[in-house]
Amino acid sequence: MFPRFSSKWGIYMPTIVFASPKGGVGKSTATVLLASELAAHGGTVTMIDADPNKPLSQWASLPGKPERLTVIDSATEENIIDEIESAALKTMFVIVDLEGTAPVRRILDDRWALEVSCP
Protein backbone atom coordinates (compact mmCIF):
# COMPACT_ATOMS: atom_id res chain seq x y z
CA MET A 1 0.00 0.00 0.00
CA PHE A 2 1.20 3.50 -0.78
CA PRO A 3 1.42 6.08 2.04
CA ARG A 4 -1.10 8.92 2.06
CA PHE A 5 -1.16 12.31 3.72
CA SER A 6 -3.96 14.49 4.99
CA SER A 7 -4.56 18.19 4.45
CA LYS A 8 -7.40 20.67 4.52
CA TRP A 9 -8.52 19.19 1.18
CA GLY A 10 -8.67 15.64 2.47
CA ILE A 11 -6.32 12.69 2.18
CA TYR A 12 -3.94 12.74 -0.76
CA MET A 13 -0.51 11.88 -2.07
CA PRO A 14 2.03 14.63 -2.72
CA THR A 15 2.15 15.99 -6.24
CA ILE A 16 5.23 15.23 -8.32
CA VAL A 17 6.22 17.95 -10.79
CA PHE A 18 8.68 17.39 -13.62
CA ALA A 19 10.14 20.74 -14.61
CA SER A 20 13.10 22.14 -16.49
CA PRO A 21 13.68 25.41 -18.30
CA LYS A 22 15.09 23.37 -21.17
CA GLY A 23 13.05 21.44 -23.67
CA GLY A 24 13.93 17.92 -24.77
CA VAL A 25 15.42 16.76 -21.46
CA GLY A 26 13.01 13.89 -20.86
CA LYS A 27 10.31 15.42 -18.64
CA SER A 28 7.44 13.85 -20.53
CA THR A 29 9.21 10.49 -20.89
CA ALA A 30 9.98 10.41 -17.16
CA THR A 31 6.38 11.36 -16.37
CA VAL A 32 4.98 8.52 -18.50
CA LEU A 33 7.46 5.96 -17.12
CA LEU A 34 6.81 6.85 -13.48
CA ALA A 35 3.02 7.03 -13.93
CA SER A 36 2.91 3.73 -15.79
CA GLU A 37 4.96 1.95 -13.12
CA LEU A 38 2.84 3.34 -10.29
CA ALA A 39 -0.32 2.24 -12.11
CA ALA A 40 1.17 -1.20 -12.83
CA HIS A 41 1.79 -1.63 -9.10
CA GLY A 42 -1.79 -0.81 -8.13
CA GLY A 43 -1.70 2.96 -7.80
CA THR A 44 -4.26 5.28 -9.33
CA VAL A 45 -2.47 8.05 -11.18
CA THR A 46 -3.41 11.35 -12.77
CA MET A 47 -0.93 12.91 -15.18
CA ILE A 48 -1.46 16.61 -15.84
CA ASP A 49 -0.22 17.59 -19.27
CA ALA A 50 0.68 21.28 -18.89
CA ASP A 51 2.90 21.33 -21.97
CA PRO A 52 1.31 23.16 -24.94
CA ASN A 53 2.56 20.38 -27.26
CA LYS A 54 0.45 17.88 -25.24
CA PRO A 55 2.90 14.95 -25.38
CA LEU A 56 1.17 13.07 -22.55
CA SER A 57 -2.20 13.38 -24.25
CA GLN A 58 -0.72 12.13 -27.51
CA TRP A 59 0.79 9.15 -25.68
CA ALA A 60 -2.49 8.42 -23.87
CA SER A 61 -4.38 8.26 -27.17
CA LEU A 62 -2.28 5.25 -28.22
CA PRO A 63 -3.26 1.69 -27.31
CA GLY A 64 -1.91 0.29 -24.05
CA LYS A 65 -2.51 3.11 -21.56
CA PRO A 66 -2.96 1.56 -18.11
CA GLU A 67 -6.56 1.56 -16.92
CA ARG A 68 -5.62 3.13 -13.57
CA LEU A 69 -4.03 6.13 -15.29
CA THR A 70 -5.86 9.34 -16.22
CA VAL A 71 -4.55 12.24 -18.29
CA ILE A 72 -5.78 15.81 -17.88
CA ASP A 73 -4.87 18.09 -20.77
CA SER A 74 -6.97 21.13 -19.87
CA ALA A 75 -4.54 22.64 -17.34
CA THR A 76 -3.58 26.26 -17.83
CA GLU A 77 -1.48 28.64 -15.76
CA GLU A 78 -4.71 30.02 -14.32
CA ASN A 79 -6.32 26.70 -13.32
CA ILE A 80 -3.43 24.29 -12.74
CA ILE A 81 -3.61 24.50 -8.95
CA ASP A 82 -7.33 23.68 -9.06
CA GLU A 83 -6.64 20.77 -11.44
CA ILE A 84 -3.93 19.41 -9.13
CA GLU A 85 -6.10 19.72 -6.02
CA SER A 86 -9.06 18.07 -7.73
CA ALA A 87 -6.94 15.20 -9.04
CA ALA A 88 -5.25 14.72 -5.65
CA LEU A 89 -8.63 13.96 -4.10
CA LYS A 90 -9.46 11.33 -6.73
CA THR A 91 -6.21 9.46 -7.31
CA MET A 92 -3.28 8.30 -5.22
CA PHE A 93 -0.66 10.08 -7.33
CA VAL A 94 -0.65 13.31 -9.34
CA ILE A 95 2.26 13.86 -11.71
CA VAL A 96 2.61 17.15 -13.58
CA ASP A 97 4.61 17.61 -16.78
CA LEU A 98 5.38 21.32 -17.18
CA GLU A 99 6.66 23.05 -20.26
CA GLY A 100 10.10 24.59 -19.98
CA THR A 101 8.92 28.17 -19.44
CA ALA A 102 6.09 27.44 -16.99
CA PRO A 103 5.96 29.40 -13.72
CA VAL A 104 7.28 26.51 -11.61
CA ARG A 105 7.47 28.50 -8.38
CA ARG A 106 3.71 29.10 -8.41
CA ILE A 107 3.14 25.37 -8.28
CA LEU A 108 6.06 24.44 -6.06
CA ASP A 109 5.25 27.08 -3.45
CA ASP A 110 2.49 24.78 -2.26
CA ARG A 111 3.98 22.43 0.32
CA TRP A 112 2.57 19.27 -1.22
CA ALA A 113 4.56 19.44 -4.45
CA LEU A 114 7.76 17.47 -5.01
CA GLU A 115 9.94 18.93 -7.72
CA VAL A 116 11.91 16.67 -10.01
CA SER A 117 14.21 18.86 -12.09
CA CYS A 118 15.49 17.41 -15.31
CA PRO A 119 18.98 18.77 -16.10
CB-CB contact of 104 with 24 (8 Å): no
pLDDT digits (tens, 9 = 90+) for 5-60: 555 555 556 688 888 777 788 899 999 999 999 999 999 999 999 888 899 999 99
pLDDT digits (tens, 9 = 90+) for 86-98: 998 889 899 999 8
pLDDT value at residue 57: 95
Q: Is 18 helix (H, G, I), strand (E, B) or coil?
A: strand
